[in-house]
Chains A and B, each alone.
Chain A
Amino acid sequence: TVGAVARDKQGNLAAATSTGGMTAKRYGRIGDSPIIGAGTWADNESCAVSATGHGEYFIRYHVAADICSRMKYQQVDVKTAGDAVIHGVLKDAGGTGGVIIVDHKGNVHMPFNTEGMYRASRVEGGETEVAIYQD
């Protein structure tokens, strides 16, 4: 699964996710990627999220929208919201994967609870950061 989230100079957020799903899937199975709220979400009042992982769990816990709702209604920052869902709610349920998040101020957070996640980010005025593993 691949995805991107961004905040532009006008302050508008957007999120996009694209995937081939899971190996050997049958019965027209789809995962979280095309489910708005589970694998993809964007709201200028909070954040934009794209997810990758075991999609059924992301659907059950509407992961992408949950992170943004926590920011919006609990007034917590992007790291607090992202970590609570990925390392708390999702992991406790047995779900694995990760998300990329950019908030309404341009802060980036990329939490995941697997061994690795292919990821990169760049914030205005900063350098490109590319990483794969936990450390």
Chain B
Amino acid sequence: QGKFAIAIHGGAGTITRANLNDEQEAAYKAKLDEAISAGYAILADGGSSSDAVIAAVQIMEKSPLFNAAKGAVYTWEGEHELDASFMRGDTLEAGAVAGVKRIASPIALAREVQEKSVHVMLSGVGAEQFAEQQGFEFVDNKMFDTDHRYQQLQDAKAKIMESEQPEQQAWQQLDTKYKYG
């Protein structure tokens, strides 16, 4: 007999006390608390683990603090390409989307792929065609913009272009803050 439980993450990397001031640290902790509380409440009410993880992730997707949906990092071309996946442990059924640009909640679309398609992963234009068929609302890619991520893009591009190494090697030299959120 086990207990119900939930855990969440909002990204890993070069996160030190020197990089975060008190105000930023408080903001991250408050949003993490909001997300974990939402998921826990669903579980405490007898809801499913699937509903709990989706609810928690969607709160973080809507926050500019994290690298997902609103707050996502920029591609080289200055856009946002979003990925998401969902899996349930009772049936081993899974759904995933890659490289979508106009879906407000990629995790919701990943779950839709799991529940409403015979496939596991859909990508790019095809994933958005599926979303349209399922009645998903589309948003402008600019909705995911944030100033601090745009500055990160400019910094990363400058470092890559200044390097005398081939692009792939130059990219490898970037600090981990550019490699993931």
Contacts and interface: CB of A to CB of B under 8 A. Distances in A.
Interface of A: 1-26, 28, 30-31, 33-36, 39-45, 48, 50, 52-55, 96-102, 104-108, 110, 112, 114-125, 128, 130, 132-133
Given A13-B49, A17-B57, A43-B92, 18 more contacts: A3-B8, A3-B57, A7-B49, A19-B83, A19-B181, A20-B69, A24-B153, A24-B171, A25-B73, A35-B85, A40-B86, A97-B180, A104-B89, A115-B16, A118-B66, A123-B3, A132-B29, A133-B15
A118 B32 contact: yes
22 contacts: A9-B46, A12-B50, A17-B85, A18-B82, A18-B83, A20-B69, A23-B73, A24-B156, A40-B94, A42-B87, A42-B92, A48-B49, A53-B13, A54-B176, A99-B9, A116-B16, A118-B9, A119-B10, A121-B5, A132-B15, A132-B28, A132-B29
A106 B4 contact: yes
Contact of B180 (A3, A31, A50): A31
Given A2-B61, A14-B48, A24 B82 contact: no
A133 B73 CA distance: 22
Interface in B1-39: 2-17, 20, 25, 28-29, 32-33, 35-37, 39
Contacts of B107: 16-18
Given A18-B61, A33-B84, A42-B88, A52 B11 contact: yes
A33 B83 contact: yes
B80 interface: yes
Q: Helix, strand, loop or mixed for chain B's interface?
A: mixed
B133 interface: no
A55 B96 CA distance: 15
B71 A119 contact: no
B126 interface: no
Given A16-B57, A40-B86, A54 B180 contact: yes
A24 B12 contact: no
Contacts of A33: 83-85
B131 interface: no
A16 B53 contact: yes
B83 A96 contact: no
Given A121-B36, A124-B5, A34 B156 contact: no
Contacts of B106: 18
